[in-house]
């Protein structure tokens, strides 16, 4: 929705090293989801703003790509220290616009910093290979070069972490970067831009362009944008891939998820219930790695449902700065309405409503977008509560009789982002991890988000493109390989070139 309300606080773009309102005349309201009140007006980019951001990045890309890796690394180290010293400020911005509790916001920043630290080792990551005397008098070696101008389109649920999964690796590899953050919580991106500048990054290497579909389409089709990195929903990820590829761009697009956790009868059920509740209700379930389906095997079902009921009923939901709050609101009224609709449909279709969070009201924040923890048992795969990505604090329980049945259930799901198994059996765990068609697997770990020196990404409808984000795949995505074959003839050499294909 757009707004023409008189501006009190305005969030602007960051282009070529300066904050600018740009030339676009459209704005959009930014809300505090805990109060339901407008907190700022966001400037939305028009074609002129898109062109300005791309031109700034294009002008900076060549010189930055030729900057020594020692210089790049020194700026990455400085940026890392600046982010670490501004965690409280960044977390406050996240909580004010996203709604997640401060401890969760700080955790998000910490996971982003891990990738910054990984990117600080870019000199090691960009080393090539050398083959001496590959043919007579000929040596062959390879190295990797930056792709040029990269645009990152990031989601609302991690307004600091996901940009830090992209930009540090891209910039360390020698690219210029344009961040198009979510219009729902845009303020943290501007603070990141200021910190990049303070760290010594040259103007134009990191830019922030705010906007909606017009900005996205402008980046996808602009001839001077070389690559697109995206995290968001599956329908949009598919659109991003198709449009970007049609315009000759490299693309990685991470889509949605429906993450399952299998609970075996031999598992520590108290431990499993603790982690299920945290993974389902943390950040109000607005994580692409949230556990939204508990697959209870055999006799584990009744016990784990009872234990999860206890944990869900004890979750403290409140405004994110409340010291003992476990969970805050969801992001928008539309998101809340959709979640309530799906829960109601499941109940009407025969699911057992174990914990009902639909009528939660937080005292003092009656206009906030709150939904309480909700648990649905005996859910069938034909229910929308199972088939759709709810993206809210809802855990559905599906009952099966065997591990094989659980594996078949998960493999039949169109998503393949993350999954987990809770068990005390190494045999069960090994069977599960080798049989499952999912990109990230946890064993007694509910949110199997890989550490920074591995790569994050799913399978099936959770990933469009062939390279995952950050880690080794991130380096490969933001660079291109080049192979040099060279000969240095002796000074008095008489050419003996052959018209046959060279082989020795």
Catalytic residue list: 288
Nearest to 440 by CA among 426, 458, 428, 452: 458
- 99: region left, alpha or beta (phi > 0 left; psi from -120 to 50 alpha): left
Pairing of strands 394-400, 291-297: parallel
CB 13 within 8 A of CB 21: yes
Judged by DSSP in three states, 214 sits in: helix
Distances (CA, A) of 285 to 257, 314, 326, 330, 366: 12, 16, 12, 8, 20
Angle at 43 between CA 42 and CA 49, to 5 degrees: 150
Burial label for 248, CB within 10 Å (0-12, 13-18, 19+), is: exposed
Residues 6+ apart with CB under 8 A from 332: 31, 33, 184, 369
Question: Could you identify the residue written with the tokens 């300066």?
Answer: 18
**Any idea of the CA torsion for 436, 440, 446, 450, to the nearest 10 degrees?**
160
- Calculated CA dihedral for residues 17, 45, 179, 194, nearest 10 degrees: 30
DSSP per-residue codes, 232-295 = S-HHHHHHHHHHHHHTT-EEEEE----EEEEE-TTS-HHHHHHHHHHHHHGGGG--TT-EEEEE
> Rounded to whole angstroms, how far apart are CA atoms 189 and 181?
7
Distance, CA of 444 to CA of 400 (rounded, Å): 19
- Answer for the pair 57, 176: CB distance below 8 angstroms, yes or no: yes
Task: Classify burial at 3, counting beta carbons within 10 Å of its beta carbon; exposed 0-12, middle 13-18, buried 19 or more.
Answer: middle
Q: Where are the alpha helices (DSSP H) in 7-144?
A: 47-65, 69-85, 87-97, 102-119, 122-125
Q: Give residue for tokens 């390279």.
A: 467
Dig out the tokens for 137 from the structure.
């008098």
Asked if residues 195 and 82 have their Cβ atoms less than 8 Å apart, the reply is yes
């Amino acid at each position: 929705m757009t707004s023409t309300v008189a501006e009190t606080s305005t969030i602007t773009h960051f282009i070529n090293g300066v904050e600018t309102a740009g030339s676009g005349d459209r704005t959009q309201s930014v809300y505090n989801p805990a109060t339901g009140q407008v907190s700022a007006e966001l400037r939305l980019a028009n074609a002129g703003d898109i062109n300005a951001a791309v031109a700034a990045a294009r002008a900076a890309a060549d010189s930055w790509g030729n900057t020594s890796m020692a210089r790049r690394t020194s700026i990455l180290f400085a940026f890392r220290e600046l982010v670490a010293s501004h965690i409280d400020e960044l977390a406050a911005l996240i909580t004010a616009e996203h709604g997640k509790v401060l401890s969760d916001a700080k955790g998000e920043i910490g996971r982003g910093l891990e990738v910054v630290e990984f990117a600080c080792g870019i000199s090691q990551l960009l080393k090539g290979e050398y083959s001496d005397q590959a043919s007579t008098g000929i040596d062959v070696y390879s190295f990797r070069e930056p792709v040029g101008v990269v645009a990152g389109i990031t989601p609302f649920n991690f307004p600091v972490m996901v940009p830090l999964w992209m930009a540090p690796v891209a910039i360390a590899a020698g690219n210029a970067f344009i961040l198009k953050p979510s219009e729902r919580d845009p303020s943290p991106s501007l603070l990141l831009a200021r910190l990049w500048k303070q760290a010594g990054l040259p103007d134009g290497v990191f830019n922030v362009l705010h906007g909606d579909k017009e900005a996205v389409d402008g980046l996808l089709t602009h001839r001077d944008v070389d690559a697109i990195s995206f995290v968001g929903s599956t329908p949009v990820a598919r659109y991003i891939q198709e449009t970007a590829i049609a315009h000759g761009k490299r693309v990685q697009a991470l889509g949605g998820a429906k993450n399952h956790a299998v609970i075996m009868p031999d598992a520590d059920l108290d431990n499993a219930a603790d982690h299920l509740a945290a993974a389902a209700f943390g950040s109000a379930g607005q994580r692409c790695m949230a556990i939204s389906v508990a697959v209870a095997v055999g006799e584990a079902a009744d016990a784990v449902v009872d234990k999860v009921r206890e944990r869900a009923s004890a979750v403290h939901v409140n405004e994110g700065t409340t010291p003992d709050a476990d969970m805050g609101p969801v992001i928008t009224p539309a998101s809340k309405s959709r979640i309530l609709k799906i829960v109601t449909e499941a109940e009407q279709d025969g699911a057992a409503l174990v914990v009902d969070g639909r009528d939660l009201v937080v005292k003092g924040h009656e206009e906030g977008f709150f939904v309480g923890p909700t648990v649905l048992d005996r859910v069938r795969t034909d229910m929308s509560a199972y088939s759709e990505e709810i993206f809210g604090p809802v855990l559905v329980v599906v009952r099966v009789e065997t591990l094989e049945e659980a594996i078949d259930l998960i493999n039949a799901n169109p998503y393949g982002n993350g999954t987990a198994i809770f068990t005390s059996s190494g045999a069960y765990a090994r069977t599960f991890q080798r049989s499952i068609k999912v990109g990230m697997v946890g064993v007694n770990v509910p949110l199997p988000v890989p550490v920074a020196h591995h790569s994050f990404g799913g399978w099936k409808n959770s990933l469009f493109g062939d390279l995952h984000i950050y880690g080794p795949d991130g380096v490969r995505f933001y660079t291109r390989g080049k192979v040099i074959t060279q000969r240095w003839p002796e000074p008095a050499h008489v050419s003996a070139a052959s018209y046959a294909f060279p082989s020795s």
